[in-house]
Amino acid sequence: MILRIAFGFFVVFILISSVLMQKTVSVNLLILLGSCLLLSILFENRIPRIRVLQIALLGIFHWVSHLNWCIDLYLLLTAKTYQTRKVGRTVAVSVFLALLYSSIRLSYSEHTLYTFLVTLFDLLGFVIIVLMVHYFQTAKREKQLLQQENTHLATHDLLTELLNFQEFHKQLQQLLKRKKRVALLLIDCIDLKSMNNEQGFESGDRILKKTAEVLQQIFHDARLLARYGGDKFAVALYAEDTSNQIQNRIELLVNEFPKKLQIEITYGYAVYPDEGESKDELLLLTEERLFTMKREIWLRREEHMLRSEKLRLIGELAAGMAHEIRNPLTTVRGFLQIAKEKNYNIEPWYEVIMGEITRISELTGEFLQFSKPHVSNFKVQPLQECIQRVIDLMKSEAVLLGHQIEHEFELDPIYILMDRDKIVQLLINLIKNAFEAMEENGVVFIRLYRVGSLGTIEIQDTGPGIPQEHLDQIFHPFFTTKKTGTGLGLSICHKIVQDHGGTIDLESSPKGTTFRVTCPAVHGSGM
């Protein structure tokens, strides 16, 4: 804008000076050329390649005016063509303009030694001015870049390139002043500290960088995205949509992290001004919700550890109890069989006695599962083959009951270190439970997929689901809702999974129940 004003001023000044001093060869032509020059400056951003026309008009305007003062117009035109990263091109343009100016000046000036020396001086002057402008512009640009870099270092985390804690608080305060609805989300990578201890800080740093990338993908429209300190991250975004839509994005976040990073996260979020009318209130509520979720996960892990310890104690009890009961039962059973053969007078009670003894024997047989040591017949085998064997074994029972079995496997084999017979027993128990849960004709879905370094099996039925009040007790020994059940089936399943270093959990709704078994995957096809 400044160059345009200066250029226009000099055009008018030279035009008036040439007319008053009677230097021009044609007043009308000079006014026409001056007007064209002014118009070319005014519309230069709208017309492509207008710079060539401006140079031509300037040369003719210079010759018609017969004034050496036009050198200022040449210098201004040189400045307008200046490009910081193409100094060679700018110098070439400046030399061309200097030669044009000198040739036109010589056309109406006397050809003396002084005139030629002035021409040489003008040429050098053009080049020196361009180089000086380039130097100062480069220095200014480097200073600006240095200031930007210093500002970036002061406001961003060096590892993740996200906003740091102090800058996030500062910008969050400014964001809330706009009086728009804002959702604040705090995220904590709860397993990262233990991972740092086990695998080193380099592994933790890689996960923090990957976490920042995943957050940027999921919350691409976030107004603020920061590393909140340590293993925590913070996200602030406009929340003009409904709370359900916000929750859907959070669920996407929770699902993406285990798949991409193999870590579990906790989170807390609150909405301004619905749940907090200031920055401090919003942060306090979000921190409280984050702490509550962390506490729930901690309690769930403690419950899992207590359950495992309880099963260990039951196993020790079963070792002595089952052996003490099963031996005399075997003797009694043998006696009753002989009594029947000899026609002893206990025939009326035989069926009742045998039925009860058989039931006790089955109960002790299942109870012995807890006392057996960890499975030792370990081999690296693909889960696909193991599941296919279970499907083949259960097809006839499914047809008999009017149910269907559907499955979905990954193409690549998923190998785990396992006792195949125990895994088959585990899956048969879960599928039988699914059959029994579906009163009408239903479908059992079996899915196998990999999540990071884990192989995951899902068994889902289309039954009425498990009542909410029973979910916390479902793996407890002797707990059952069946009339003829022993209450040990799922406890045995839990122990088999535990012996394989895996986990088992479930989700249930009125539309059905899903059991999810995860075991560490290994490389190779044999052992």
In sequence order, the β-bridge partners of residue 448 are 457
Dist. CA 108–CA 83, nearest whole Å: 33
Q: Give yes or no: residues 397 and 476 share one domain.
A: yes
- 32 lies in some domain: yes
Q: Give yes or no: residues 11 and 132 share one domain.
A: yes
- Which residue, 344, 370, 396, sits at the end of a domain? 370
Q: Give yes or no: residues 20 and 92 share one domain.
A: yes
84 pLDDT higher than 50: no
- Tell me the mean pLDDT in the region 49-66: 84
- Which residue, 231, 261, 277, sits at the end of a domain? 277
Question: How would residue 460 be classed by pLDDT, with cut points 50, 70 and 90?
Answer: very high
Q: Give yes or no: residues 193 and 250 share one domain.
A: yes
Q: Distance between terminal CA atoms of the chain?
A: 78
Q: Give yes or no: residues 125 and 20 share one domain.
A: yes
- Tell me the mean pLDDT in the region 471-490: 69
- 182-191, 291-300, 340-349: which has the minimum mean pLDDT? 340-349
- Which residue, 277, 311, 334, sits at the end of a domain? 277
Q: Give yes or no: residues 356 and 411 share one domain.
A: no
- Tell me the mean pLDDT in the region 510-524: 88
pLDDT score at 15: 86
Q: Give yes or no: residues 227 and 327 share one domain.
A: no
Q: Give yes or no: residues 365 and 386 share one domain.
A: no
- 126 lies in some domain: yes
- 287 lies in some domain: no
Report for 36-50, 74-88, 170-184, 468-482: range of highest mean pLDDT:
170-184
Residue 142: HSE in the Cβ half-sphere, 13 Å Cα cutoff: 7
Domain that holds residue 338: 302-370
CATH of the domain at 232: 3.30.70.270
Dist. CA 54–CA 51, nearest whole Å: 5
Dist. CA 286–CA 246, nearest whole Å: 15
Q: Give yes or no: residues 385 and 474 share one domain.
A: yes
In three-state secondary structure terms, 182 is: strand
- 131 lies in some domain: yes
- 293 lies in some domain: no
Q: Give yes or no: residues 389 and 314 share one domain.
A: no
- 286 lies in some domain: no
- Tell me the mean pLDDT in the region 142-165: 85
Dist. CA 166–CA 172, nearest whole Å: 10
Single out the residue of 413, 305, 425 nearest to residue 377, CA to CA. 425
CATH of the domain at 387: 3.30.565.10
- 490 lies in some domain: yes
pLDDT score at 461: 92
Question: How would residue 527 be classed by pLDDT, with cut points 50, 70 and 90?
Answer: very low
Total domains present in the chain: 4
Specify the pTM. 0.45
CATH of the domain at 341: 1.10.287
- 89-98, 121-130, 188-197, 296-305: which has the minimum mean pLDDT? 188-197
Q: Give yes or no: residues 64 and 114 share one domain.
A: yes
410 pLDDT higher than 90: no
**Tens digits of residue pLDDT in 426-449:** 898 899 889 988 888 899 999 999
- Tell me the mean pLDDT in the region 34-60: 81
- Tell me the mean pLDDT in the region 202-210: 80
Q: Give yes or no: residues 126 and 198 share one domain.
A: no
**Tens digits of residue pLDDT in 221-278:** 888 999 888 888 999 988 775 556 677 777 777 777 777 777 778 888 888 888 888 8
Six-digit token string for 205 = 């740093």
- 285 lies in some domain: no
